[in-house]
Amino acid sequence: MVPPKEFLVQPDPSDPRLTRRVDGVDQDGARLTTSVTVERPLTLFLNGQEIVTMMSICDYPEYLAVGYLLNQNMLRADDRITGVEYDSDIETVVVRTDRETDYEEKLKKKTLTSGCAQGTVFGDMMEKFESVRLPADAVLRTSWLYTLLKKINTAPSLYLAAGAIHGCVLCEEDRPLLYMEDVGRHNAVDKIAGYMFLKGMEGGDKIFYTTGRLTSEMVIKTVQMNIPILVSRSGFTAWGVELACQVDMALLGRARGKRFIALSGERRIVYDADTARVGEEPRHLQRKGAREDDAA
């Protein structure tokens, strides 16, 4: 079987819609011009019902819309989507299905979670979470991990070009497949979830990487995609760790260079790499990470 191509989707920092040059001054009062990330409102409709307006860079609005609805349990795995329509002029995306949905009841159950502003989790999400069984035989080889970190950190991205952005990457073994970015980590996750649903991609043999914190929301969304391994360059929350332990997910944080900390699913880790041959993270990423990652 031919392995999937790397970076089926990846950021395009040269896209003029995604960044803007802005003049300012530095700490010494010297004039400078720097790139900043552009965010836009995106209003999501499910059939004829307005669901939410979120802030996004709007590079993959169709995937974001479908992934959001999936992760909020407004779409079921067996739903048939008849159309996804994006209108950039009115900043609206409409998802259409061939059956009526019960989104109004879902909205009544909505509770705020740790996601950036728009992150929400519904009352029945935990019920679904508790019924999930992740693939028992999935493993993470440290040789895969170190290769992935190098490929991801050296790939062109808005994170490197402008900052103020989160990245999420769907990987298989040592190959990064989907690299999505957005101003909220939940948006980046939802884009990957939407792509997987629309393309019929399975998660049981995948690894999920994020630049954001390992919160309860991040763990829940990864579990809903049936992905057994979750890696972050940032840190953990206690509930995120508790939920990962509950489903035997491999949960690795502070993954930078040759370093990481695993707080769940240690049995899934295969230590097959010689760390003496693995380099430390480049200095420019260390500085950028110290400024942004833990405030994410």
pLDDT tens-digit readout, 107-126: 655 544 444 544 445 455 67
Check pLDDT > 80 for residue 21.
yes
Domain ranges within the chain, ordered by starting residue: 140-295
Topology (CATH) of 140-295: Cytidine Deaminase; domain 2 (3.40.140)
pLDDT average, residue stretch 14-28: 96
Summary mean pLDDT of the chain:
89
In sequence order, the 6+-apart residues with CB closer than 8 A to the CB of 290 are: none
Give the length of the chain. Answer: 296
Check pLDDT > 70 for residue 187.
yes
pLDDT average, residue stretch 171-188: 96
Name the pLDDT band for 295 (thresholds 50, 70, 90).
very low
Q: What is the longest distance spanned by two Cα atoms in the chain? A: 60
Give the pLDDT confidence score for residue 207 in this predicted structure: 98
pLDDT average, residue stretch 127-150: 91
Check pLDDT > 90 for residue 235.
yes
- Percent of the chain having pLDDT more than 90? 75
